[in-house]
Structure 1
Amino acid sequence: MKIFYVKRIFLCILFLVSVLALAQNKSERELILIDNDWRFSFGHLYDTEKDFKHAEGYFSYLTKTGFGDGPAAKDFDDRAWRKLDLPHDWAVEQEFSESGSFSHGFKTSGKGFPEKSIGWYRKKITIPETDKGKIISIKFDGVFRNSKVFFNGYYLGTEQSGYNGFEYDVSAYVNYGGENTIVVRADASMEEGWFYEGAGIYRHVYLQKTNPIHVAANGTYITSEITNTTAEITAEVSIENKGNYKGSVEIIQTVFDASNQQIAGVSENVNAPEFYKTDKYTSKLQVNNPLLWDIDSPNLYRLVTQIKQNEKIIDNYETSFGIRTIKFDSEKGFFLNGKPVKLKGTNNHQDHAGIGTALPDEIQYYRIKKLKEMGSNAYRCSHHPPTPELLKACDELGMLVINETRLMGINDYHLNDLKRMMERDRNHPSIFCWSVGNEEWNIEGNIVGERVTNVMQDFAKSIDPTRPVTVGISSGFKSGISSVVEIMGYNYLGNGDIDAHRNQFKNQPGMGTEEGSTFATRGIYFTDDAKHYQSAYDRKPRPTFYSIEEGWKFYAERPYLAGMFIWTGFDYRGEPTPYGWPSVTSYFGMMDVCGFPKDNVFYLKSWWGTQPVLHIMPHWNWSGMEGKEMDVWVHSNCDEVQLFLNKKSLGKKKMELNSHLEWKVKYMPGTLEAIGYKNGKKVLTEIQKTTEKAQNIKLSIDKENIPNSKVLVVTAEVTDKNGLHIPTSNEEITFSIKGGKILGVGNGDPASLEKDQFIDAVSLVQITNFQEQKGLTADLPQEFQNYPENDWKTAFRDRDYKNQAPSYVYKGEFDLKNNSALNKVSFFYKKIGVEAVVFINGNKINPSSEDSQKYILDSSILKEGKNTIHIAATPLQKIKDWDVLNIDPGIIQVITPAESWKRKLFNGYAQIIIQKEESADEVVLSAFAKGLKTGILKK
């Protein structure tokens, strides 16, 4: 008893010290989200003139430190660039074109569009003088792709992959107490995958500040071992020393439960790592009666790691983790916490309607909730490391995860990517398996595949021995990778004999890493190849691929198979198989790109879920098809289902396990009704009813939204006078919003070429043919004058800067494609004189009140086509002979206002993703369509 009380007193004191230290030293580690207020502009893939003359300097950023030029220069003038917040995907903003990439959904971005393949981002931040002595870093969760990062003109590095997180130490380059400039050049000309990947800074960016002695990036690794009612926690921490301190530090490890109660703690004194070295330290903690992380009860704990130096807390690092056990058995499948769990999984890319890959965090939760509602318990990251927020959502909602690296190989490019992914993600309890490859057909069945897999598998075990390794294999299951991989990943049972492979390798567990590659279009029940629509009935799409039902039956009936992962949970841009242009999204999803369910969702919900299900397909609006025999399917997990048409029974049928029911029914308007029975008692009723004509627009907030979230997913639909949803409606709906902004719109139509986003177009018009002539006095003209044409010569050429004229008059031209009164045209002047007067087409223009070097140009003085600009200025003077004076007069910015947000309904539905303004008390979304009552939603 004495030991118990001493330990309890120690924990209480430790907790009190930790709280006080956190309050007093809150600023020692800061992680500041810096997503807001970036500037963006397109550059050019190979034309340096169009790439803002980047890398044209005599000394480039690669030859001499600090010589970032063009937009990479600290003082580059980006005032005319577009303002935006991150995450940002510039590809989703583009139009569609048949010449675009099949893989990327025919968007006009990427290697075929050099003017839309380079994106420049710039942001200014202030770092106070008090931060001197700290380690200042810029952290990126991911940039697609081949990003080069600059800070105050200093080149920091290149990250080729669009999926790796990375960070740069900028401490030596900081202008403390003043302004600092972050610049990113993203090159999305090269694809990494064969699916839509977006473009730009599509994940979060952070400014991090730490003490020189701190927990290294992704520097904790937490494992647990459960014995009876106790879990022993092993907490390994990597401490980095970027300072000159030599001596001891104290490492304090404290575990908190979900209610923020401290439940375990330990402290030890260790020697600090040497200068610019990293050392690992391991602590053991005991958690009594742990609440295990599970699919249905995703219990989480929090480890707080603190470093104490000279009695002062100098770092505070938090890690979320879960306590659970996982096991694969070659005979009985997968076990979670000692209980058998059949994996009911889906594969997914990071892509959503309207917003592409730039998903707000709330949408990650929305999508995982949609999958959970379907009965899914597992998620495969196809085919790259995910954004951290996805894993956080899976941890918190209870979704198992296969985490997958991008490319197989044994060199630093491959293994370093795998290492970074695993070290970043290995504390997530949702992850139960690492995947080191997918369908690498060139090596799957040969000795090279064996060698590569053996190296990657052993390398992964050296980083995290607690989880197994898999590879998704599709070119037969006989040799090569299949012979050596720890967990066999079968991609499509039609690609080989799974039972034969299992009989040859009886000690090798297996699961279907991809299965059920079917084609379906939501709300379509007759295939129409002319329109590129596939029937939503679950049928075998081709000889080597099986339907969803066939696939699930195969895996469900074999206990030695841990389960299956359907291709895919959601539709995604790109891979519009079996069609091509003008189809722009896939047809594989159980849900469309918005998350609206196809009928297969209800089949899965019947056999994957735990709640009673009853669903009828198709809808019952078939005007002009009276008397035609229709295939009526019922998805249900009831014992029996009876079907009625206009109250006349069409018979009762018994439901077989993992199956569905079918009737042939001649269409007549009215009500199709199904009644489900369990143990002879009626438990569910479902109807499909012929509707009246469209009358109302209905807006509703999807139930999967996060409560009190700033980002909301809204469904638009049309109803009849009785409030019934009309499944065949396709009206174009126009939207307006107050108190927020629309992030994107979609409808799930795989052949829709409508815009995903309606944003103001920002174009930059160069001033050309720039010439000069000398002024006689330093007095600048206040009215336009006619200047002798013969006196003009190329501006700044061969100027004698030691003997300049009192003033100069400059003349240039710029072309406007149109001169709409709706356009906002501005001249952003770059200082080429001490004082200046600007004339446009002979009219003097005064600077704006917000910026003395910005001139707003009224359409009344502009012309479509060629316009003339004159600038009278007193010259800048060189102080030193080697000073380089600006010779760029500036740029014309044209902002063309976007059209109103709009989207056609597709088979009855459209989706709007909105973001509430921080200062707004209420957001109001309105929806309009000709002949329909306006829909209004207030939140």
Structure 2
Amino acid sequence: MKTTFVAKTLLSFFLLLSFWVSAQKSDRELILIDKDWRFSFGHLYDTEKDFGHATGYFSYLTKTGFGDGPAAKDFDDRAWRKLDLPHDWAVEQPFSESASFSHGFKAAGKNYPEKSIGWYRKKINIPESDLDKIISIKFDGVFRNSKVFFNGFYLGTEQSGYNGFEYDVTAYVNYGGENTIVVRADASMEEGWFYEGAGIYRHVYLQKTNSVHIKANGTYVTSEFKNNEADVIAAVSIENKGNYKGSIEIVQTIFDNEKKQIATFSESLLAPEFYKTITHHSKFYVENPKLWDIDSPNLYRLVTQIKQNEKLIDSYETTFGIRTIAFDPENGFFLNGKSLKLKGTNNHQDHAGVGTALPDEIQYYRIKKLKEMGSNAYRCSHHPPTPELLKACDELGMLVIDETRLMGINDYHLNDLQRMMERDRNHPSIFCWSVGNEEWNIEGGIVGERITNVMQNFAKSIDPTRPVTVGISSGFKSGISSVVEIMGYNYLGNGDIDAHRNQFKNQPGMGTEEGSTFATRGIYFTDDAKHYQSAYDKKPRPTFYSIEEGWKFYAERPYLAGMFIWTGFDYRGEPTPYGWPSVTSYFGMMDVCGFPKDNVFYLKSWWGKEPVLHLLPHWNWSGMEGTAIDVWAYSNCDEVELFLNKKSLGKKKMEQNGHLEWKVNYSPGTLEAVGYKNDKKVLSEIQKTTGKVEKIKLSLDKENVAKGNVSVVTVEVTDKNGLHVPTANDEIEFAIKGGKILGVGNGNPTSLENDQFIDNLALVSITNFQEQKGTTAVLPQQLSNYSESEWITAFKDRDYKKQVPSYIYRGEFELKSNSVKNTVSFFYKKIGVENVVFVNGTKVEPSTEDAQKYTFNTAILKEGKNTIYIVATPLQKVKDWDVMNTDPGVIQVITPAEPWKRKLFNGYVQIIIQKEDNAKEFVLSASAKGLQTGILKLK
């Protein structure tokens, strides 16, 4: 059914209908539940340290609702750490030489069984008014192998750390009361050979819908554009998880970026049967559409509403774009009918200070940094990304290759591919699906060919509008490369690209990985002892190519659609060509913070549209007077002239996609480059010898989005004249009011400093727990002397039908230290009706906030063994099969964190801060010995 605004009567009807429907409230709610989770480490194989999980007579797999240990609804988690999501526990850990090379030597994972299992718990209230709704919990991703429980009921296991997943909990809800969500994440096994983090590092949502609703990722919007007109086709999958039988009405409306309604549609149809799904198709006509483009990322919004007996029961929004994409084996890639060279980068998903738990604002920050460099494409290496990354690419105009994790033809592989594609296929930024990367074991043979054929055809059945690629690195002659739709070349040094193209002339191709290099930001002389690589662009290995060599190769060949550099940002892990103590890669055009290496300006010169002139290195070379220094200029000017202390060192002509070089004997002062176009001076760039550091400067990064509570702050030091000092490595200490610090970084690949400074929370068990009988129900206010001969193991062989008036319990707990800065609390778990607690002979009063919590004065404690007494009147069994608590509780020791700090690396530090929800402003201060403090106030 087509509609236009030419038919005024029909338009008025639809406008009124749409207004009336939108004024109603849908049954659908999507509630972010990231705040106020409890977290504790479990253990990979020691069940006692894993809180006794899965040790009961009946396990959660044998009987429904038998989640035990922390999986139980009423497990006492008061002593656990309180935190907000997203959370990456790996980034919080120290570095260790014995830890995983690929995961950046963070002390987590299989070699650290006490830091490989993470438990998360959250309590939520669900009102009785939701009784007729479908209630589900949505996870965007948990690394990894997560088991989820709800009110003690096991919901399922998701192996992959990158898939989003959802569980229906409707049958298990305590309506009108408290409900408990529990997640056990097992990060002992790595999926990738790069830093992957650990824990619930993506968002979690509570979703409520009517029993008749649009299913998860249930819309698929495509468009056909020609002659300045577009047909928009929407497929909507509706499912029924209730007993309703009868008709429903579907009402769909398209809005543009300015919230202007441009098309609408409505139709009645029969609801699907119980637990069945139907797919409804509709077609819209859009005249003079605003196309999605990298420079003008115009977006539309499809609002799909379902009515039942004239009542709005569901409303589902889908963001999409209208654009055309095409690959040509002779002429490369086309966007909206125009030739576009792909200027892409590969990237993993971690960032300095926060690991993989990126706030949404950091996703925008990173994409803006890449756009500023001139990049127009992003390859998700090598796994499905966060939804927020794709949203940022849609809104900022960045093309995307979306990539699944593993090749194969069984349910594990194809189901993962399908979930990724169905979640992501409405994003206009995605122009290609990747079903594999560097599968060396199968790339060159018949098995790889078969798997690729299956995955490629399977992908086409889900989304026929986009092509499929695979990144290939072990030769470009046979196997996968013979059958893949878009050839993905990984590195010139791995095969003859021109020869492959001549053999497969109808197969389009692009460089899915190219131009890898080794470079350390701000370093200009390689020092292998310090693990520093010079930032001058060079071959990383004899058979590999520099950034410039790689770009020239692809830029000069129209049949190649473009290239994706390895990588846009440094990342943790793969510290090639070094090992410990290098903990991050050297491949990035930017470091892990997003501070640019000099290669950024080479790319900006030839990828961007604005005039560029960049001069390297810095000009602080005290003690090297008279030494010949390599001076390079990156520019897209016609010519560049170099001056040292106002004396010309010559003018040189810039070749296309090249750079310029001089040898300059060092003399302190001013090194200046002047760029000319058409014989006219258009740009100048200065590197000046600076004085000593005197001031700390804080600046809000210009790539920060205007909305949101998270900000990226650049920290640097200047001399008395305000000049940035590029060689400074001072340690800076931070303090904040009205907010909190999320993480710090400096881009130093060998830095073993903390990414985060958080209080250390230790749980100390009470051991050697014994009891003896009391003679009265009156509880003592002072501790008596009890006969040593009468102590027996607590609760052993207790006859609950013949209990005495009271019991005296005694146990021990060990403190590694007894600092006055520590907070030591006892979280008591009821083993009696009434009780009194003594520690080292002194009575302790319960806290006012929680009658079963006791905070100990450090004056009564001592390093080493401490003794706790609990005198209590006994609990009574109501039924013979009642299970009585025999755990007296746990000791929590909180050691305050050190102040936040970080050493500058070649002049820079980055700090990520978050404003408190109700704060009117927050103030960040940075200080260092002998320097003027820097202060930044943000509203």
Normalising by structure 1, we get a TM-score of 0.99
Residues 1:729 and 2:728 aligned together: yes
For residue 6 of structure 1, report the CA deviation from its aligned partner: 7.9
Q: Which residue of 2 aligns with 1:127?
A: 126
Deviations 1:149-176 (A, max 9, x none): 0000000000000000000000000000
Give the whole-Å Cα distance in 2 for the aligned partners of 1:212 and 1:20: 22
Tell me the SS of whatever aligns to 1:328.
Answer: strand
Tell me the SS of whatever aligns to 2:493.
Answer: helix
Deviations 1:502-542 (A, max 9, x none): 00000000000000111000000000000000000001111
Give the whole-Å Cα distance in 1 for the aligned partners of 2:20 and 2:773: 70
Deviations 1:688-709 (A, max 9, x none): 0000111000000110001143
Residues 1:443 and 2:455 aligned together: no
Tell me the SS of whatever aligns to 2:70.
Answer: helix
Read off the aligned partner of 1:262 and give its amino acid letter: Q
Give the whole-Å Cα distance in 2 for the aligned partners of 1:120 and 1:418: 28
Deviations 1:82-140 (A, max 9, x none): 00000000000000000000000000000100000000000000000000010000000
Give the whole-Å Cα distance in 2 for the aligned partners of 1:12 and 1:740: 50
Give the whole-Å Cα distance in 2 for the aligned partners of 1:5 and 1:660: 55
Deviations 1:743-769 (A, max 9, x none): 000000000000000000110000000
Tell me the SS of whatever aligns to 2:610.
Answer: coil
Residues 1:23 and 2:28 aligned together: no
Tell me the SS of whatever aligns to 1:36.
Answer: coil
Are the counterparts in 1 of residues 3 and 285 from structure 2 also a CA contact under 8 Å? no
Give the whole-Å Cα distance in 1 for the aligned partners of 2:769 and 2:600: 63
Give percent identity, aligned residues only. Answer: 82
Give the whole-Å Cα distance in 2 for the aligned partners of 1:227 and 1:338: 10
Residues 1:886 and 2:902 aligned together: no
Q: Which residue of 1 aligns with 2:222?
A: 223
Tell me the SS of whatever aligns to 1:302.
Answer: strand
For residue 4 of structure 1, report the CA deviation from its aligned partner: 6.2
Deviations 1:920-939 (A, max 9, x none): 11110000100000000011
Give the whole-Å Cα distance in 1 for the aligned partners of 2:86 and 2:427: 23
Read off the aligned partner of 2:157 and give its amino acid letter: T
CA 1:693/1:264 → structure 2, altered by over 3 Å: closer, same or farther? Answer: same
Give the whole-Å Cα distance in 2 for the aligned partners of 1:74 and 1:367: 40
Give the whole-Å Cα distance in 2 for the aligned partners of 1:25 and 1:625: 73
For residue 5 of structure 1, report the CA deviation from its aligned partner: 6.9
Deviations 1:577-625 (A, max 9, x none): 0000000000000000000000000000000000000000000000000
Give the whole-Å Cα distance in 2 for the aligned partners of 1:785 and 1:194: 61
Deviations 1:799-827 (A, max 9, x none): 00011011101000000000000001100
Q: Which residue of 1 aligns with 2:149?
A: 150
Q: Which residue of 1 aligns with 2:775?
A: 776
Of 256-265 and 589-598, the range deviating more from structure 2? 256-265
Give the whole-Å Cα distance in 2 for the aligned partners of 1:419 and 1:623: 59
Deviations 1:49-87 (A, max 9, x none): 000000010000000000000000000000000000000
Q: How does 1:384-533 map to 2 (within 5 A)?
A: 384-533=383-532
CA 1:804/1:181 → structure 2, altered by over 3 Å: closer, same or farther? Answer: same
Residues 1:682 and 2:681 aligned together: yes
Q: Which residue of 2 aligns with 1:841?
A: 840
For residue 786 of structure 1, report the CA deviation from its aligned partner: 1.1
Give the whole-Å Cα distance in 2 for the aligned partners of 1:764 and 1:848: 19
Q: Number of paired residues?
A: 937
Read off the aligned partner of 1:573 and give its amino acid letter: R
Q: Which residue of 2 aligns with 1:625?
A: 624
Read off the aligned partner of 2:273 and give its amino acid letter: E
Read off the aligned partner of 2:117 and give its amino acid letter: I
Q: Which residue of 1 aligns with 2:551?
A: 552
CA 1:844/1:10 → structure 2, altered by over 3 Å: closer, same or farther? Answer: farther
Deviations 1:561-580 (A, max 9, x none): 00000000000000000000
Are the counterparts in 1 of residues 142 and 202 from structure 2 also a CA contact under 8 Å? yes
Give the whole-Å Cα distance in 2 for the aligned partners of 1:243 and 1:375: 52
CA 1:313/1:536 → structure 2, altered by over 3 Å: closer, same or farther? Answer: same
Deviations 1:656-686 (A, max 9, x none): 0000000000001000000000001000010
Q: Which residue of 2 aligns with 1:649?
A: 648
Q: Which residue of 1 aligns with 2:380?
A: 381
Q: Which residue of 2 aligns with 1:658?
A: 657
Deviations 1:479-509 (A, max 9, x none): 0000000000000011000000000000000
Give the whole-Å Cα distance in 2 for the aligned partners of 1:121 and 1:16: 47
Q: Which residue of 2 aligns with 1:345?
A: 344
Residues 1:591 and 2:590 aligned together: yes
For residue 229 of structure 1, report the CA deviation from its aligned partner: 2.0
Tell me the SS of whatever aligns to 1:51.
Answer: coil
Read off the aligned partner of 1:294 and give its amino acid letter: D
For residue 253 of structure 1, report the CA deviation from its aligned partner: 1.2
For residue 246 of structure 1, report the CA deviation from its aligned partner: 1.0
Tell me the SS of whatever aligns to 1:721.
Answer: coil
Deviations 1:219-256 (A, max 9, x none): 00000001212110100000000011111111111100
Give the whole-Å Cα distance in 2 for the aligned partners of 1:5 and 1:812: 80
Q: Which residue of 2 aligns with 1:287?
A: 286
Tell me the SS of whatever aligns to 1:835.
Answer: strand
Q: Which residue of 2 aligns with 1:13?
A: 13
Read off the aligned partner of 1:851 and give its amino acid letter: D
Deviations 1:371-428 (A, max 9, x none): 0000000000000000000000000000000000000000000000000000000000
For residue 15 of structure 1, report the CA deviation from its aligned partner: 3.7
Deviations 1:890-932 (A, max 9, x none): 0000000000000000000000000011111111000010000
Q: How does 1:309-348 map to 2 (within 5 A)?
A: 309-348=308-347
Give the whole-Å Cα distance in 2 for the aligned partners of 1:95 and 1:528: 25
Residues 1:863 and 2:862 aligned together: yes
For residue 436 of structure 1, report the CA deviation from its aligned partner: 0.1
For residue 213 of structure 1, report the CA deviation from its aligned partner: 0.3
Tell me the SS of whatever aligns to 1:603.
Answer: helix
Deviations 1:731-750 (A, max 9, x none): 00000000100000000000
CA 1:491/1:776 → structure 2, altered by over 3 Å: closer, same or farther? Answer: same
Residues 1:766 and 2:765 aligned together: yes
Q: Which residue of 2 aligns with 1:363?
A: 362
Q: How does 1:732-747 map to 2 (within 5 A)?
A: 732-747=731-746
For residue 782 of structure 1, report the CA deviation from its aligned partner: 1.0
Give the whole-Å Cα distance in 1 for the aligned partners of 2:4 and 2:366: 46
Tell me the SS of whatever aligns to 2:91.
Answer: helix
Tell me the SS of whatever aligns to 1:417.
Answer: helix
Give the whole-Å Cα distance in 1 for the aligned partners of 2:805 and 2:8: 83
Unpaired stretches in structure 1, ≥5 consecutive residues: none
Tell me the SS of whatever aligns to 1:17.
Answer: helix
Give the whole-Å Cα distance in 2 for the aligned partners of 1:803 and 1:598: 77
Q: Which residue of 2 aligns with 1:36?
A: 35
Q: What's the C-alpha RMSD, in Å, of the aligned pairs?
A: 1.0
For residue 21 of structure 1, report the CA deviation from its aligned partner: 3.1
Give the whole-Å Cα distance in 2 for the aligned partners of 1:127 and 1:80: 24
Give the whole-Å Cα distance in 2 for the aligned partners of 1:806 and 1:927: 61
For residue 12 of structure 1, report the CA deviation from its aligned partner: 3.8
Read off the aligned partner of 2:775 and give its amino acid letter: L
Normalising by structure 2, we get a TM-score of 0.99
Read off the aligned partner of 2:810 and give its amino acid letter: K
Q: How does 1:173-212 map to 2 (within 5 A)?
A: 173-212=172-211
Q: Which residue of 1 aligns with 2:820?
A: 821
Tell me the SS of whatever aligns to 1:704.
Answer: coil
Give the whole-Å Cα distance in 2 for the aligned partners of 1:419 and 1:31: 23
Tell me the SS of whatever aligns to 1:20.
Answer: helix
Deviations 1:297-342 (A, max 9, x none): 0000000011111111110000000000000000000000000000
Are the counterparts in 1 of residues 4 and 11 from structure 2 also a CA contact under 8 Å? no
Q: Which residue of 1 aligns with 2:110?
A: 111
Give the whole-Å Cα distance in 2 for the aligned partners of 1:609 and 1:113: 46
For residue 14 of structure 1, report the CA deviation from its aligned partner: 3.1
Read off the aligned partner of 1:18 and give its amino acid letter: S
Q: Which residue of 1 aligns with 2:571?
A: 572
